[in-house]
Every structure is written in C-alpha cells, then in structure tokens.
Amino acid sequence: MLYTGSAIVDGADSLLQLIKDDLQQSRARYVYEELDPDVFADELLQPAYADVERIAVVLLQASVGPV
C-alpha cells in the first residue's frame, strides 16, 4: 500500500505513468485511486513544480501472487 502525492502534468498522473507498466508486467492486482485532487498548492510555487498543474493525493494498493 502506498499513500503519496503525485504531480499532474498536462492532465496526466506522472506516478501512474511511471509504475503502470511494471504493475502490469508483474501481473500485480492493483487499485489506484485519487483521494484528493489538489493538495500542497504552496509547493506549486517552487521552481521544481513549474510545469505541474496540481499535486494529487493518491493511494495504490497492489499485490502479486496468490491471494
């Protein structure tokens, strides 16, 4: 289980884009959901976030192997 923030750039969730292929290749069962669409607005003022539209709180629940 992972609870974190993910940068949304051009409408795309950068974390999900980064991990989706790995999850599918490992045949993981997973649920990925956006819990809060816009948090840490003050962070968006930092230069590192210049291209980021918003930061979303996301939850990933994943498992591999027999249940």
Measured in degrees and rounded to the nearest 5, phi and psi for residue 43 equal -65, -30
For the chain, the 3-state helix, strand and coil shares in percent, each to the nearest 5, are 30, 45, 25
Determine the straight-line distance between the first and last CA of the chain, rounded to whole angstroms: 15
pTM greater than 0.85 (yes/no): no
Q: What is the pLDDT of residues 3-56, one digit of tens each?
A: 999 999 999 999 999 999 999 999 999 999 999 999 988 999 999 999 999 999
pLDDT score for 65: 78
